[in-house]
């Protein structure tokens, strides 16, 4: 049925698949849950197990990436002759002192990628699906255990701007 004043706008997608379930409260559903993209759906136990493993791996690898970037930044700071190199890395207004432009560009690109990565994990969390929430937490905790060896530990917290 055509709506008055709207005209025929053609086909707006694949109508053979039901819309993604959009729950706004904690749930344990395995029926038509979309994870980040329309094509990544949970609609069976198999897709739930594969999705859980994928989300766990994403959380785990996030910690690996974060630790590697942090170690690179610390090495970048320790390469400076100044004793205040670490302070410069941690002080935004002085962050460019003694750091080559190419390193600053690399830091900015890595920062942007990590922001996108952390927001993606947040969006998975915001499906409010208990299985996926546990996968994010378990993956991040396992990655933190495996890769975080600095003295700051969990004080850093998760990044989700």
- Supply the pLDDT for residue 149: 78
pTM (2 d.p.): 0.75
Per residue in 123-149, pLDDT (tens digit) is 999 999 999 999 999 999 999 999 987
Q: Can you point out the beta strands (E) in 3-88?
A: 33-35, 37-42
- Supply the pLDDT for residue 15: 64
CA-CA distance, 5 to 120, in Å (whole number)?
Answer: 38
- Token reading at 136: 């994010």
Residue 97 in 3-state DSSP?
Answer: coil
- φ and ψ of 45, to 5 deg: -65, -40
CA-CA distance, 19 to 27, in Å (whole number)?
Answer: 17
């Amino acid at each position: 049925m055509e709506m008055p004043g709207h005209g025929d706008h053609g086909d707006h997608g694949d109508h053979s698949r039901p819309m993604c379930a959009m729950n706004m409260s904690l749930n344990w559903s395995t029926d038509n849950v979309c994870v980040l993209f329309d094509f990544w759906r949970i609609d069976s136990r198999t897709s739930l197990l594969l999705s859980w493993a994928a989300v766990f791996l994403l959380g785990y690898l996030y910690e690996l990436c974060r630790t590697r970037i942090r170690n690179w930044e610390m090495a970048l700071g320790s390469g400076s002759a100044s004793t205040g190199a670490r302070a410069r890395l941690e002080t935004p207004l002085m962050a460019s002192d003694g750091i080559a432009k190419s390193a600053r560009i690399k830091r900015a690109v890595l920062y942007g990628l990590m922001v996108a990565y952390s927001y993606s994990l947040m969006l998975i969390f915001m499906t409010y699906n208990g299985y996926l929430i546990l996968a994010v937490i378990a993956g991040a905790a396992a990655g933190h255990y495996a890769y975080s060896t600095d003295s700051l530990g969990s004080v850093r917290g998760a990044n989700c701007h």
